[in-house]
Amino acid sequence: MCRFLAIAALGAAAALAGCGRVNQSASCREFVACVRAQDAVDGVTTDATRFEPDGDCWGGPDIAELCDRSCVHGTAQLRADHSTLACAVTP
Amino acid sequence: MRTEARWAVRGVIALAALAIGTATAGVARAEPGPWIVGVDGEASVIGESFGMRAEVAWRLGPAGTVSHLRAAIGVLPGPEFTFVPVSLGYRALWRADRTVQPFAGAGWENQHFVISDAPTEHRWLVLYVEGGCGFAVAPQVTLGLATSLDWSFVRHQGPGLQLRGTVSYRF
Amino acid sequence: MRHTWQLVGVALLIVLLRADVAHAHSPALLCADQPYAVTDATVSRALYGVFHAPDQVFVITMHPATRIALPFEILVPHRDELRDHRPAYAIVARGLPRPSPDVAARLPRPLPDGAGVFIDWNDAPTREVEFESFLRRVYWSSGTIAVLVPAGDVEIWVWSPRGTTGKFVLGFGVEEGGIDYGDVLDHWSDYAY
């Protein structure tokens, strides 16, 4: 019984350890979409991996919050710099 | 070095000198009771702040028992925030009836960083270890020096390191 | 039974010491008279500098192989004597928008030929406040913004438009690249206070 409880605790801990990751925010989903739209105009591919769903932005709540805020301002800046930019979030 | 740090260092040196001088005089002390109340002057090395901490300890058994339960609260103003720790832990205090009284302990702390123009930051799960030595200067009065090291778990991770000069009264 | 408690203790440590909950930039010190070269633009940095004179300009160089989207912000220690200290930063590279003559005149030096610029003037009426947990620091932030940094030769300029002096930290990037703890301890007062 004791060994079962210990193994259960280890399993729960392992599961909880993986729960630190958070989902990509809506703001960064929109930012990445706008980056891709601008890439199509410029004929380049931007390295935006950190903001994508599997990126390092989502490794924990603190960094996720920082990335989310940066995406909000980044999207606004992209639209200010490129008035014809058409990008929207695909739900 | 900042003015507060200079005064903290001077205070610690003065306490140490007084304690050592008194210890060599061979003060014999009795052990009147299970309660200890104390006031510490404290400097936080990680996160610049200087202030006071009040603590109380209760001996977990008859005279001669080393184990104590300790609770403390501090207010340490600094240039970037005011640090408010609240602690609950265990302290082992040896040679309570002698002049030189080493102690060590560990426990849980929650830490609050009061910021003037932003919400207070909280670190709810912090574990600390401490160590130090007291010097009896009167039958119920001890002066001491201590250091504590802590680590904050869960979300706002990070270390802490504090230096303290202590004055305590046993009754 | 003792073996059980040891396993529970290990389980607790796994939960408590999750690497994902702590994020750390690689710190380094800046000098105004020597450009700082970033070898890998993908590694997150916290670059610490001090304006000893109001007309100093700090320069950081990088050479991304491809256009890269990175979050940037500039921080000032949350201290009364630095309340009016608002250093600005500019990312200078070909491929960024060309500034108007008025804006260009406010830069600390002329732009290289063909270069455009992204500027964060750090002049928002109310600044965000950030708590850095590892060294227990509190900062005013310019606000973090994701910027598309072009490929090729890139310079980042940091200067003090208001002519104030004092400490600052320029932060950018996300991916962790390790910390030289020896350097941190050697320059403790520069990083911690």
Mind listing the pLDDT tens digit for each residue in B43-64?
Answer: 999 989 999 999 999 999 998 8
Q: Subunits with at least 3 CB pairs below 8 A relative to chain C?
A: A, B
Q: Which of B3-12, B76-85, B137-146 has the lowest mean pLDDT?
A: B3-12
Chain C residues touching residue B115 (CB < 8 angstroms)? 78, 129, 131, 138
pLDDT < 50 regions, chain C? 15-22
Q: For C146, which of A2, A10, A70 is closest by C-beta distance?
A: A70
Q: Which of B16-25, B114-123, C89-98, C165-174 has the lowest mean pLDDT?
A: B16-25
The confidence score (pLDDT) of residue C20 equals 40
Question: For A6-34, b where at least 16 C-beta lie within 10 A, e where not — what string?
Answer: beebeeebeeebeebebebbebbbbbbeb
What percentage of chain C has pLDDT greater than the value 70? 86
pLDDT above 50: residue B156: yes
For residue C82, give the DSSP letter.
Answer: G
ipTM of the complex: 0.83
**Band of the pLDDT at B157, cuts 50, 70, 90?**
confident
Chain C residues touching residue A38 (CB < 8 angstroms)? 148
* Residue A53: other Cβ atoms inside 10 A: 11
Flag if C133 and B123 touch (Cβ within 8 Å): yes
Is B1's Cβ below 8 Å from some Cβ in C?
no
Flag if A74 and C66 touch (Cβ within 8 Å): no
- Tokens for A2? 């004791």
User: How far apart are alpha carbons B138 and B135 in whole angstroms?
Assistant: 9
The three-state DSSP-derived secondary structure of chain B is: CCHHHHHHHHHHHHHHHHHHHHHHCCCCCCCCCCEEEEEEEEEECCCCEEEEEEEEEEECCCCCCCEEEEEEEEEEECCCCEEEEEEEEEEEECCCCCCEEEEEEEEEEEEEEEECCEEEEEEEEEEEEEEEEEEEEECCEEEEEEEEEEEECCCCCEEEEEEEEEEEEEC
The three-state DSSP-derived secondary structure of A24-85 is: CCHHHHHHHHHHHHHHHHHCCCCECHHHCCCCHHHCCHHHHHHHHHHHHHHHHHHHHHCCCC
What is the overall mean pLDDT for chain B? 88
The confidence score (pLDDT) of residue B56 equals 98
Mind listing the pLDDT tens digit for each residue in C81-134?
Answer: 999 999 999 999 999 999 999 999 999 999 999 999 999 999 999 999 999 988
**Unique residue bearing structure tokens 């003060």:** B27
The confidence score (pLDDT) of residue A7 equals 59
Task: Look at phi and psi of residue C9 and say left if phi exceeds 0, alpha if psi is from -120 to 50, else beta.
Answer: alpha
Instruction: Give the chain B residue whose CA is nearest to the CA of C22.
Output: B157
The long-range contacts involving B28-33, CB below 8 angstroms and separated by at least 24 positions, are B28/B99, B29/B97, B29/B98, B29/B99, B29/B136, B29/B138, B29/B139, B29/B140, B30/B97, B30/B139, B31/B63, B31/B64, B31/B96, B31/B97, B31/B170, B32/B139, B32/B140, B32/B170, B32/B171, B33/B170, B33/B171
Instruction: Give the chain A residue whose CA is nearest to the CA of C131.
Output: A62
The confidence score (pLDDT) of residue C190 equals 75
Q: Which of B107-116, B162-171, C11-20 has the lowest mean pLDDT?
A: C11-20
The confidence score (pLDDT) of residue C69 equals 97
Mind listing the pLDDT tens digit for each residue in A34-74?
Answer: 999 999 999 999 999 999 999 999 998 888 999 999 999 99
User: How far apart are alpha carbons C75 and C69 in whole angstroms?
Assistant: 20
User: Up-side HSE of residue C89: CA atoms within 13 Å toward CB?
Assistant: 27
**Band of the pLDDT at B11, cuts 50, 70, 90?**
low
What percentage of chain B has pLDDT greater than the value 70? 81
For residue C93, give the DSSP letter.
Answer: E
Domains and CATH numbers, chain B: 2-170 (2.40.160.20)
User: How far apart are alpha carbons A32 and A75 in whole angstroms?
Assistant: 9
pLDDT higher for B141 or A3? B141
The confidence score (pLDDT) of residue B16 equals 58
